[in-house]
Amino acid sequence: MSARKAILQVKGLQTSFFTDDGVIPAVDNIDFSVHEGEVLGIVGESGCGKSVTSLSIMGLVPSPPGKITGGEILFGDKDLTKLSDKEMRKVRGNDVAMIFQEPMTSLNPLFTIGNQLMEAILIHKKDWSKKKARERAIEMLKLVGLPRSEELMKDYPHQLSGGMRQRVMIAMALVCDPKVLIADEPTTALDVTIQAQILALMKDLNERLNTAVLLITHDLGVVAETCERVVVMYAGQIVEEGPVPIIFKDPQHPYTKGLLQSVPDMRFKKQRLYSIPGNVPKPGSISKGCRFAARCEFAFDKCLTENPDLYQTSSVHKTRCFLYQNQEVLAHDRTLIES
């Protein structure tokens, strides 16, 4: 797994919002990387900074009030945070593409599907003829499993169902063969059955086209189904990171444990569903100590005064919790394992 090359590396990313109430760090010093052809999940409750992370990668953080205040986002050898608008536009769609939560509003209601798909192609392939773009668009619609794609080219968004629109969005995102596809809650607005279809489609395309997928979701079920690795975020920080089987079998951070317990288990019908007490703290409201301490059942004195680091507890597993500080593999051993 570690043999695969990292194509997108986020290093110490910090994105803040400058509001009247002061500077609010929505994403606070996070590191992770997306490897070639993998599906990486980012999970967390609403407001934990997942979406801001994805918008930061795309350079689409609404500004003002948002701004990337630190760190770098490396795509190959390019630092996306340092690119000019023009260079960034070439990256978007071409190298890194994104699909959004709301398929109902992600397409322009005034233009046909074909029109919008071809536009997406011609932005980056300036020397292509209209005919070639059209063929490519139809090919993409077929690829995302939409039947009668020729007729669909002439349809307007309102004539399609939510699931079909999300497929069109995926087609549009993949039309220029990006290396990374960022999917921000792509299935949240869809019915459960359609949700499963879209996830299966994304997984399938990931395998066939070798496009790495960064899947942002609050649904651990989605992660279990589709992702290879997962990053758990809490209040703008990464609290745990590791391969999906390991995290699901042996969650370390109390927050991850809580999340896993809140997934309904069909085997025990009458049981009340577990929920983590309290809410995600407002970003920036906690100045010292572990950000989860107030909601954590294991919290002790140290947790209230010092924020733990992200401890490497095995070659692939990282946890931000003092309980695992002792388990941190010595740097020496770690390098041995990795080499």
Give contact residues for other proteins (rule: CB under 8 A). 58, 60, 89-94, 97-102, 105-110, 112, 119-120, 123-124, 145-148, 154-156, 158-161, 163-164, 167, 169, 172-173, 176, 194, 197, 200-201, 204
Instruction: Give the nearest distance from C-beta 106 to other proteins in angstroms.
Output: 5
Instruction: Give the nearest distance from C-beta 130 to other proteins in angstroms.
Output: 15
CA-derived radius of gyration, the chain: 21
Exposure of 89 by Cβ count < 10 A (0-12 exposed, 13-18 middle, 19+ buried)?
A: middle
94 vs 307 by CB, closer to other proteins:
94
For residue 79, the cross-strand partners are 74
Instruction: Give the nearest distance from C-beta 113 to other proteins in angstroms.
Output: 12
Instruction: Give the nearest distance from C-beta 77 to other proteins in angstroms.
Output: 20
Instruction: Give the nearest distance from C-beta 123 to other proteins in angstroms.
Output: 5
Amino acid at 75: F
Is it true that the peptide bond before 64 is cis, omega within 30 degrees of 0?
yes
Amino acid at 331: A
63 vs 279 by CB, closer to other proteins:
63
Q: CA angle at residue 85 from 83 to 90, to 5 degrees?
A: 80
> In sequence order, what E strands does the chain have?
6-19, 22-35, 39-43, 66-75, 78-79, 96-99, 180-184, 212-217, 229-234, 237-243, 311-312, 318-319
172 vs 216 by CB, closer to other proteins:
172
202 vs 321 by CB, closer to other proteins:
202
155 vs 328 by CB, closer to other proteins:
155
**Coil, helix or strand at residue 69:** strand
